[in-house]
Structure 1
Amino acid sequence: MARRPRPVVLKAGCKRTGGSWHSAYDNVVVTDTARLDVDHFVPLVEVYDSEQAPWSAARREAYANDQAPPDTLIAVSAASNRSKSDKDPAEWLPSDGSYHCTYAATWVGTKLRWDLAVDENERQALLGLAEDCPTTTVVYEPAP
């Protein structure tokens, strides 16, 4: 049975008094915000390494705060985010194998959205994941 997060409940001053978040990387439900991180799906270091031409400070800020696609910034358990760190799919995949296809599609969609390059190891890892995910579709809209 899938574990579903509970709606977040706020009281005066935006203090959280209840609710939960589903961490897709490790299939964990987190109720303690101290055990939750908001992750850049494609880490900032990876973005800087993947720029096809140097970005302006404004473009870097736009990426860092991009909330248009739902997964560019994703709430995950702190443990899974620390495990991922600044690694690409050649170096790290979520511990929840059922999320690998979504992870790969979101990674590729984010790279395409922001016109980011992939290195050869990353490309090979993504091609291997694509072979395991024949019905997964990459969806993206170019960044403004």
Structure 2
Amino acid sequence: MADLTVATENREGYKRTSFKHWVDADGDACNARQEALIAEAIDAPEVGAKCALAEGVWYSYYDDQIVTDASKLDVDHLVPLAEAWDSGASAWDAAQREAYANYLDAPEHLVAVTARSNRQKADQDPADRLPIETVRCHYIAEWTTVKRQWSLTVDEREKQELTSIAAQCPNAPLPTQPAR
């Protein structure tokens, strides 16, 4: 946690549309949301025409739920787009923000979770909202990984919460390789 840069967050100028998301970067008819759902499935879904997903099984770790209907899932940007903006993405160009919004190369970046748990989390950071207690160590490890990968800052309250939870978690190395 010591290497996370603390800075004041600034939401000024944020628009969700500043992050072009759910693009089909590889042209296979599956956009980034669908690709994340396929990757996150514990039982692979059937992939139909226009990447329609059927009969898969997913685990929503935010709320410990098994889901068998892809339409009941959201694909969450673990570090929300608004939080990324507040933490440094406001200085990125459009291509960097699009890359962030559709990043599929690290499993912690886009997470399939129940729509309900994603909407409860909204754009809050760990100082304001955490998933169920049994997965908090996992969650803050992934949060910290995404922040490091994208060189995003944390605010003071966020850093304090991450540090407090990390002190209760077993030591596990976190990737530090930049995403971009």
- Tell me, yes or no, whether TM beats 0.5: yes
Matching of residue 113 in structure 1 with residue 113 in structure 2: no
> Relative contact order, CA 8 A, sep 6+: which one is greater?
2
- Partner residue in 1 for 2:171: 135
Unaligned stretches of 5+ residues in structure 2: 1-40
Q: Whole-Å Cα distance in 2 between the matches of residues 143 and 15 of structure 1?
A: 29
Residues 98-128 of structure 1: per-residue CA shift (max 9 Å, x gap): 2111110110110010000000000000000
User: What is the distance in 1 between the residues matched to 2:92 and 2:50?
Assistant: 37
Q: What TM-score, normalized to structure 1? A: 0.89
Give me the identity figure in percent.
Answer: 45
1:40 aligns with 77
Q: Distance in 1 between matches of 2:166 and 2:113?
A: 23
Q: In proportion to residue count, which structure has more strand?
A: 1
CA distance in 2, matches of 1:69, 1:6: 19
Q: Note the aligned Cα RMSD (angstroms).
A: 1.8
Alignment of 1:72-111 (within 5 A): 72-95=109-132, 97-111=133-147
Q: Could you list the runs of 5+ residues in structure 1 that have no partner in the other structure?
A: none
Q: CA deviation at 1:11?
A: 4.3
Name the residue aligned to 2:159. 123
Partner SS, residue 26 of structure 1: coil
Q: Give the total of aligned pairs.
A: 140
1:9 matches 2:12: no
